[in-house]
């Protein structure tokens, strides 16, 4: 098991451009989460999936944000028409829903986004 | 509203000494999970320890242990025999039964050699 992976690790873009991030969860984990972390703050929940179903979206997730998990494996988070306020670290986590480790979320290394 | 408070923005401890990081929270739920995560500078979030709210016994993981007081809604982390590698931002992050983690604002721990 290689843990949660995220790609890219860093992204610099110009305001108004679209960006897409990918997350590969731990292989046997059913749930996948996206969080956003700004400098000096704790992460804030954005959305989560159970298998391919998106079960909850935060009010933080504006219409410019969309997330998918088409086959219940990897997930993508797209930000359209980026704004400078979108600059943050985007964290992905995954968890199992059964077993001794249920509900424990394991995090990837994050994608750091800078919007110029 | 479910809230998490970490009242110590920064803490420091001498190497090999013991330090306790505090966390209080507010929830009306009775069944939930509590976690402490560690985030070293420019590195990823790492799970330190987990506690199920229905368990009275406090969780321990090697040098890390918790003091869970359910009635007081308190969940502190004790680090014994502090090591240089323990330097990081520590986040208290309960899961109040709604699947997502609610993070506190963090405590930055410095280890003094």
The answer to whether the peptide bond before residue B30 is cis (omega within 30 degrees of 0) is no
The share of chain A scoring above pLDDT 70, in percent, equals 99
Q: For residue A32, which of A49, A20, A55 has the smallest C-alpha distance?
A: A49
What is the C-alpha separation between B70 and B34, in angstroms, rounded? Answer: 11
What is the C-alpha separation between B104 and B76, in angstroms, rounded? Answer: 12
Q: Do B33 and A108 touch (CB under 8 A)?
A: no
- Find the farthest-apart pair of alpha carbons in chain B and give their distance in angstroms, rounded: 42
For strand B3-5 and strand B24-26, is the pairing parallel, antiparallel, or unpaired?
Answer: antiparallel
What is the C-alpha separation between B2 and A75, in angstroms, rounded? Answer: 28
Residue B76 contacts A, CB cutoff 8 Å: no
* CB A49 within 8 Å of CB A69: yes
pLDDT at A98 over 90: no
* CB B96 within 8 Å of CB B102: yes
Could you give the 3-state DSSP secondary structure of residue B84? Answer: helix
Mean pLDDT within A24-30: 93
Could you give the 3-state DSSP secondary structure of residue A86? Answer: helix
pLDDT band at A99 (very low <50, low <70, confident <90, very high): confident
Walk along chain B (113 residues) in steps of 10 and give the mean pLDDT of each run: 93 98 94 95 92 93 97 97 97 91 97 97
Q: Do A41 and B99 touch (CB under 8 A)?
A: no
The share of chain A scoring above pLDDT 90, in percent, equals 83
pLDDT at A50 over 90: yes
Residue B11: is it exposed, middle or buried by C-beta count within 10 angstroms (0-12/13-18/19+)?
middle
pLDDT band at A1 (very low <50, low <70, confident <90, very high): low
Chain A: residues touching B (Cβ < 8 Å): 31, 33, 35, 41-45, 48, 55-56, 91, 93, 103-110
Average pLDDT value for chain A: 94
Determine the pLDDT at residue B58.
96
Determine the pLDDT at residue B1.
76
Q: Which residues on neighbouring strands pair with residue B76, listed in sequence order?
A: B67
pLDDT at A114 over 70: yes
* CB B19 within 8 Å of CB B108: no
Distance (Å) from the alpha carbon of B83 to chain A's nearest alpha carbon: 23
Distance (Å) from the alpha carbon of A107 to chain B's nearest alpha carbon: 6
Mean pLDDT within A98-110: 90
Q: Which residues of A touch B33 (CB under 8 A)?
A: 103-104
């Amino acid at each position: 098991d290689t843990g949660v992976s995220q790609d890219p690790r860093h992204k610099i873009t110009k305001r108004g451009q679209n960006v897409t991030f990918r997350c590969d969860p731990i292989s046997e984990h059913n749930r996948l989460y996206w969080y956003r972390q700004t400098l000096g703050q704790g992460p804030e929940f954005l959305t989560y999936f159970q298998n391919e179903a998106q079960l909850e979206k935060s009010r933080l997730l504006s219409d410019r944000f969309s997330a998918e998990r088409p086959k219940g494996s990897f997930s993508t988070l797209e930000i359209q028409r980026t704004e400078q306020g979108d600059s943050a670290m985007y964290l992905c986590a995954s968890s199992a829903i059964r077993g001794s480790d249920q509900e424990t979320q394991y995090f990837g290394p994050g994608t750091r986004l800078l919007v110029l | 509203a479910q809230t998490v408070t970490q009242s110590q923005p920064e803490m420091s401890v001498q190497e090999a000494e013991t330090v306790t990081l505090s966390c209080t929270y507010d929830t009306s739920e009775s069944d939930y999970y509590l976690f402490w995560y560690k985030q070293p500078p420019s590195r990823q979030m790492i799970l330190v320890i987990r506690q199920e709210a229905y368990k009275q016994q406090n969780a321990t993981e090697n040098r890390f242990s918790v003091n869970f007081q359910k009635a007081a809604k308190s969940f502190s982390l004790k680090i014994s025999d502090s090591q240089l590698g323990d330097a990081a931002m520590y986040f208290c992050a309960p899961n109040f039964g709604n699947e997502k983690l609610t993070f506190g604002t963090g405590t930055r721990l410095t280890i003094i050699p």
